[in-house]
Amino acid sequence: MRIRKKKNAPIRFERCAEYTAETEGLLERFYEIFDAEKPLEMEIGSGKGRFIAELAEQNPQKQFISIERVIDCLVMAMEKAQAKELQNIKYFCLDAGTLTEYFPAQCADVIYLNFSDPWPKSRYAKRRLTHRRMVGAYLPLLKKEGKICFKTDNRPLFDFSVEEFQEMGFRLEELTYDLHSTDTPNIMTEYEERFSAMGVPINRFVAYPTEKTYAFFQ
Ligand SMILES: C[S@@+](CC[C@H](N)C(=O)[O-])C[C@H]1O[C@@H](n2cnc3c(N)ncnc32)[C@H](O)[C@@H]1O
């Protein structure tokens, strides 16, 4: 995602401060901020954040977390939540590889990966959010009965991810190479809108960890 560097990102971030929380000590304070009794869903790599803001708006009974490592994108995402006056979402400028430092084990019912960066060169494959190294880093956050929902326009990334998730022992369901031709309820992301307008089909699967997955990461 090409985002022009915004000089005023820190000021805009401050104006949306109610939509984040101090990351220092977050792990210890997590259940002071989030309700352990309510479902919690997380998007990793939210970009400008349309998907997660709409999802939060449609599901006021659930809680949401948006993770994005680029502050300029995160600010735009936070401003969407503020404009909608959402009460059930927080945003964090963090890298996917560090999340267990901030969030407790098995806190999330669903993890969404939408149009993750493809990192097409094989020497950078380990940076893909669907690479076993990255999945192993954030999987501890997912409840045992939770799921990972992945969608992308990028067929080589999708094929890589199907193989990778199968090797990690996940059970794949709802696999489609043309999401928009199915009747699956769908909230479009910014990238999704752009690529589907160009006629590119959208691939999606839902992955459930199994005993084999936890044995794989032992
Ligand atoms: C291609 S964009 C897609 C954005 C959005 N999900 C959408 O579909 O419109 C991928 C986003 O993931 C973020 N990202 C990539 N790797 C990440 C990581 N390791 N941790 C957190 N965010 C990451 C990027 O900064 C970028 O904003």
Residue 59 alpha carbon to ligand 1 centre in Å: 23
CATH classification of the domain holding 158: 3.40.50.150
Answer yes or no: is 24 within a domain: no
Answer yes or no: is 3 within a domain: no
Predicted pLDDT of residue 7: 74
Using CA atoms, how far apart are residues 44 and 138, in angstroms rounded to an integer?
A: 9
Residue 45 alpha carbon to ligand 1 centre in Å: 3
Answer yes or no: is 91 within a domain: yes
Query: Could you give phi then psi for residue 56, rounded to 5 degrees?
Result: -65, -40
Whether residue 16 has its Cβ less than 6 Å from ligand 1: no
Q: The tokens 């009965």 sit on which residue?
A: 145
Ligand 1 pocket mutation, candidates 55, 69, 126, criterion most atoms within 8 A of CB: 69
Answer yes or no: is 209 within a domain: yes
Q: Give the atom of ligand 1 at the shortest distance from the alpha carbon of 50.
A: 9
Model pTM score: 0.97
Answer yes or no: is 8 within a domain: no
Predicted pLDDT of residue 63: 98
Answer yes or no: is 127 within a domain: yes
Predicted pLDDT of residue 3: 53
Predicted pLDDT of residue 4: 60
Answer yes or no: is 60 within a domain: yes
Domain coverage including residue 51: 36-216
pLDDT tens, per residue, the chain with 218 residues: 455 667 799 999 999 999 999 999 999 999 999 999 999 999 999 999 999 999 999 999 999 999 999 999 999 999 999 999 999 999 999 999 999 999 999 999 999 999 999 999 999 999 999 999 999 999 999 999 999 999 999 999 999 999 999 999 999 999 999 999 999 999 999 999 999 999 999 999 999 999 999 999 99
Q: Is 159 a catalytic residue?
A: no
Whether residue 193 has its Cβ less than 6 Å from ligand 1: no
Spatial CA neighbour of 133 closest among 86, 166, 107, 96: 96
The number of domains in the chain is 1
Whether residue 190 has its Cβ less than 6 Å from ligand 1: yes
Residue 25 alpha carbon to ligand 1 centre in Å: 25
SS3 for the chain is CCCCCCCCHHHHHHHCHHHCCCCCCHHHHHHHHCCCCCCEEEEECCCCCHHHHHHHHHCCCCEEEEECCCHHHHHHHHHHHHHHCCCCEEEECCCHHHHHHCCCCCCEEEEEEECCCCCCCHHHHHHCCCCHHHHHHHHHHEEEEEEEEEEECCHHHHHHHHHHHHHCCCEEEEEECCHHHCCCCCCCCHHHHHHHHCCCCCEEEEEECCHHHHHHCC
Whether residue 54 has its Cβ less than 6 Å from ligand 1: no
**Encoded tokens for 181:** 């031709």
Whether residue 137 has its Cβ less than 6 Å from ligand 1: no
Predicted pLDDT of residue 2: 52
Answer yes or no: is 11 within a domain: no
Whether residue 115 has its Cβ less than 6 Å from ligand 1: yes
Predicted pLDDT of residue 101: 98
Using CA atoms, how far apart are residues 161 and 72, in angstroms rounded to an integer?
A: 28
Q: Which of 35, 109, 117, 183 is catalytic?
A: 117
